[in-house]
Amino acid sequence: MSRKTALHGAHVALGAKMGEFAGYDMPLYYGLGVKKEHEWVRASCGIFDVSHMGQISVKGAEGETDAVEFFEKITPSAFSKLGINRTKYTVLTNDQGGIIDDLMVTKTGDNEFHCVINAGCKEKDIQWIKSHLTSGLEFTYFEDWSLIALQGEKAEDVVRDVLGKDLSDVPYMGLWYEDYTMFISRLGYTGEDGFEISVPNKDAEALWNKLLEHDAVEPIGLAARDSLRLEMGYCLYGHDIDASTTPREADLSWVMGKNNDGFIGADKVVDPARKRVGVKLTGKGVAREGAEIRTTDDEVIGTLTSGGFSPTLGMSIGQGYVPVEYAQEGTELLINVRGRNIEAEVAKMPFVPAKTKSAKAVKTA
Provide the pLDDT for residue 365. Answer: 26
Asked if residue 85 is part of any domain, the answer here is no
pLDDT greater than 50 at residue 363: no
Q: What pTM value is reported for the model?
A: 0.95
Torsion of CA 239, 240, 242, 244, to 10 degrees: 120
Q: Is the pLDDT of residue 9 over 80?
A: yes
Q: How many domains does the chain have?
A: 2
Checking if the pLDDT of 155 tops 90, the result is: yes
pLDDT tens per residue, range 175-221: 998 878 999 999 999 999 999 999 999 999 999 999 999 999 999 99
Q: Is 280 contained in some domain?
A: yes
Residue 161 and residue 41 share a domain: yes
Q: What is the mean pLDDT of residues 255-266?
A: 89
Q: What is the mean pLDDT of the chain?
A: 96
| Residue 359: per-residue pLDDT | 53
Question: What residue numbers bound the domain in which 198 lies?
Answer: 8-50+145-231
Query: Does 128 fall in a domain?
Result: no
Q: Which of 231, 263, 284 is the last residue of a domain?
A: 231
In a domain, 86, yes or no: no
Residue 364, pLDDT above cutoff 70: no
Banded model confidence at residue 11, pLDDT cuts 50, 70, 90: very high
In a shared domain, residues 347 and 284: yes
Is residue 60 in a domain?
Answer: no
Would residue 80 count as lying in a domain? no
> Is residue 120 one of the residues assigned to a domain?
no
Q: What is the pLDDT of residues 110-135, one digit of tens each?
A: 999 999 999 999 999 999 999 999 99
Which CATH number is 41's domain given?
3.30.1360.120
Any idea what the CATH number is for the domain that residue 330 is in?
2.40.30.110
Residue 310 has pLDDT above 70, yes or no: yes
